[in-house]
Structures are given as structure tokens and as C-alpha cells.
Amino acid sequence: MKRNLLPIFILSAITFSADARFEFSDEVWTRQELLLVALGQVPADRIITGVTGLDVFNLLWIERQDVVIKGKRIAWVGDTGTWPGSAGEMISAKGQWAVPGFGESHKHIESSYVTPEYEAQLVIPDGNTWSAEGSHELSNVVGNHNVEFWLTAEDKGSPLKIFLAVGSATPPTVYERGGGYYGYREMRGFLDGDLRVAGLGEVMDWSSVANPESPGYQRIWEVIQATWDARGVVEGHALGLVDIDPINAFSAAGLSSDHHIRFAKEVFEKIRRGIFAELHADAARLLIPYLLEKGITDWSNLSVCTDDRDALASLQMGTMD
């Protein structure tokens, strides 16, 4: 019996031994270091101490918190003075509030009339650390260079994270042609090429989506399928769809969001059917009180967004600050 087990043991050892040629990615190296910092075994770069922190998962403010940072990452968060490690710098932030970076669920940086690195300079000081860019005007100009344009700045060191929703209206109609044409092949290529391409931007040609006889029906459903085939999200644009039947049809079509909600009952009916509501600031003043009256307690299917805003308006009014 023992002799019979020996070859099996040797084979098992050979089969499951570690590959000495395997190299961990930069992300794995970073995570390995962060866990050692969290345990106090590796020094941190700095501690921000004494803040009131926002627990976004449980909707709680927690007083007297320390935030331990290594490189560009947070390694540890907890009660002041309880982390077991040491750091090169301590920053007192008593009386300050610590929250995650704000973001734009739907924006057109192209409407700011600045390039991504200058958009970063414009919004990051107010706490806006990421944007979902709904590029459709520019996509009709630069065509297949659309993704390259939006992501190059971050690749070169710009701190603003951009998640691209590729313009579905490229071209806007079958009767015009600009600098780009996106069908199945083009859309699938964008999504396969970079994980920062989050999906398809605001499908607004509802007549083409809903009418099989429309000349735009084939192309719009091609890019929708390409998005789903490549794990992306299809963003919607449901301006004017306020009655129950078209709202249900919009949801049934798989269009996941709407950023043109104007009426109180409309927002309630849309979020009830799983449509993610991206509220303009002016509309939010009307819509949010209505949702409170309706007893909404889970706000995870709503956001606010600025959508289209030029740089001057952002300077005057702010963005996601």
C-alpha cells in the first residue's frame, strides 16, 4: 500500500508545485504590500488622524477615525490611535470630514470645451475624482480614435479617472455621416480593448430601438448586442417617455438609465422598474422631496449628474462637490 501511494504523492507534488517563472502583476504587488501595512508590519507613508468618516455602505458618520495611506492607496481605517504600525507623516484633521471621492455618473466633458487633463484641474479640487464620459459629439468627429482621446491623459498621469460610455449616436441618423461609424465590430473592439470602456452611451434614438421598420434599427441593436456580449452597460436617454407603457418598454429593452427625468411621478415609475436615475441638479430639487414622501430609503438606484456644462459654469456653480 505504501509503495503504491509513493508515485501518486510524487506526481501530485510535481503537478501542483508553484511555477517559478510566474510574475505577479503590479496590482497584486500593491495589495500584498497594503495588507502588511494594515497589519502594522510595513510602515505607512502618512496617517490622516481624527476625522469624521463616512461609512457609505451603512450610511453612518463615524467620529475620531484614522486613515492610513501607503502610496496612492488607503491601507487601514479605524478608531484613532488603534493602528499598530508607524508612518512617516501624521496629518491632524480634527473637525474635518472624510468621504470617498465624488463622481459623475453621466457627464459630457466634451461640453466643457477642455481636454481631459484640464477637466481634472477643474474638478478634482472640489472632490470629483471620476467621471463617466458620455462621448457622442466627439465620437462623430474623431471616429475610431474616440477611446484613445479620452484615456490617453490618464495613461500619461492625469489623476482624473474616466470611464467611457461610447457614443451610441455615431452617426446620429442613417442620413448623415461624420467622422465615425460604430456598428457591432467597432463597439466590440472598444470594449475588448480597455476595461475603462464601461459601455454604450445614452441610447437616445428611441424610434430606432422600438421600431423594427426604422432604417436605424439594425445598427443600434448591433451596438447594444456588442455591449452586452463584452460585459458592458447600455445607458439610456428616455426624455419624453413618461407613461407606464413606454417606461416598461424602455426597461424591457435593457436600457439601464435615464438622465432626463423631469416629473416626480416619472422618476418614481422609472426607478420602480429598475432604471437607474441620473438627476440633473435643477430637477433633483423637485424629485428628491417627492421620493422622500414616497418612503424611498434605498438610494442606490439614483445619482445626481451635471450632464452638459461648460468650464465657466463649472467654475461658477461647481460640479460634484
Q: List the CATH number of the domain containing 70.
A: 2.30.40.10
Whether residues 138 and 57 fall in one domain: no
Residue where a domain terminates, one of 69, 98, 127: 98
Residue 23 identity: E
* pLDDT tens, per residue, the chain with 321 residues: 444 444 444 444 445 556 678 999 999 999 999 999 999 999 999 999 999 999 988 889 999 999 999 999 999 999 999 999 999 999 999 999 999 999 999 999 999 999 999 999 999 998 999 999 998 889 999 999 999 999 999 999 999 999 999 999 999 888 887 788 999 999 999 999 999 999 999 999 999 999 999 999 999 999 999 999 999 999 999 999 999 999 999 999 999 999 999 999 999 999 999 999 999 988 988 999 999 999 998 888 999 999 998 999 999 988 888
The half-sphere exposure of 92 on its side-chain side, counting CA atoms within 13 A, is: 2
Same domain, 155 and 272: yes
Structural domains in the chain (count):
2
Q: Is residue 132 part of a domain?
A: yes
pLDDT of residue 17: 55
- Exposed/middle/buried for residue 206 (C-beta within 10 Å: 0-12, 13-18, 19+): buried
Residue where the block lists cell 453621466: 106
Residue 70 lies in a domain: yes
CB 276 within 8 A of CB 303: yes
User: What is the distance between the alpha carbons of residues 122 and 155, in angstroms, rounded to a whole number?
Assistant: 18
Point out the domain boundary residue: 66, 98, 130. 98
Q: Which helix or strand (DSSP H or E) is residue 35 part of?
A: helix 26-38
Shared domain check, 53 and 116: no
* Residue labelled with grid coordinates 441618423: 173
In a domain, 174, yes or no: yes
The residue segments making up the domain with residue 75 are 26-98
pLDDT at 6: 40
pLDDT of residue 123: 94
Q: What is the CATH classification number for the domain harbouring 204? A: 3.20.20.140
Residues 181 and 256 in one domain: yes
* Domain end (from 72, 98, 124): 98
What are the DSSP calls for 8-23, one per residue?
Answer: HHHHHHHHTS--TT--
- Say what the pTM is: 0.86
